[in-house]
């Protein structure tokens, strides 16, 4: 997931299995979600605040990073509106990166992420 190359299709990952035929949701999640968001070390509100602070200071890269963290935490927290909000910010700050897909399907992405987290984060 975040920071990792997508594995070859020789063996399906658990995320692939959960997403099934929904390749769009799977691709969006591979680009945005965290395996274990409990290890992030920031709350959703803290990440969003840091992102806004960096954006005000003009530090686009740090703002994008923290909005990405906030969006990833929103996936975990089952909050589709915030997923869309924070990844839309990422898309505006770094249009060269692949954020558009998740902003188009936040509800589907959240549903698949929740299925993944319920299975693996007990």
Q: What pLDDT sits at residue 102? A: 96
Please answer whether residues 44 and 68 qualify as being in contact, where contact means their C-beta atoms are separated by less than 8 angstroms.
no
How confident is the prediction along the chain (122 residues), in pLDDT tens digits per residue?
A: 544 444 444 456 889 999 999 999 999 999 999 999 999 999 999 999 999 999 999 999 999 999 999 999 999 999 999 999 999 999 999 999 999 999 999 999 999 999 999 998 87
Six-digit token string for 113: 């992420």
pTM across the whole model: 0.88
| Residue (of 111, 68, 59) closest to 91 by Cα position | 68
Domain ranges of the chain: 38-120
Nearest-CA neighbor of 44 among 69, 64, 62, 63? 69
**pLDDT reported for residue 13:** 87
């Amino acid at each position: 997931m975040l920071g990792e190359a997508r594995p070859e299709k020789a063996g399906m990952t658990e995320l692939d299995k959960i997403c099934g035929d929904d390749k769009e949701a799977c691709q969006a999640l591979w680009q945005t979600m965290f395996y274990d968001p409990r290890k992030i070390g920031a709350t959703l509100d803290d990440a969003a605040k840091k992102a806004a602070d960096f954006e005000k200071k003009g530090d686009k890269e740090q703002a994008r990073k923290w909005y990405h963290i906030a969006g990833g935490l929103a996936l975990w927290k089952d909050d589709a509106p915030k997923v869309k909000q924070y990844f839309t910010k990422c898309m505006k700050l770094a249009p060269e990166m692949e954020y558009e897909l998740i902003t188009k399907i936040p509800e589907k992405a959240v549903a698949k992420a929740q299925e993944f987290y319920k299975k693996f984060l007990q």
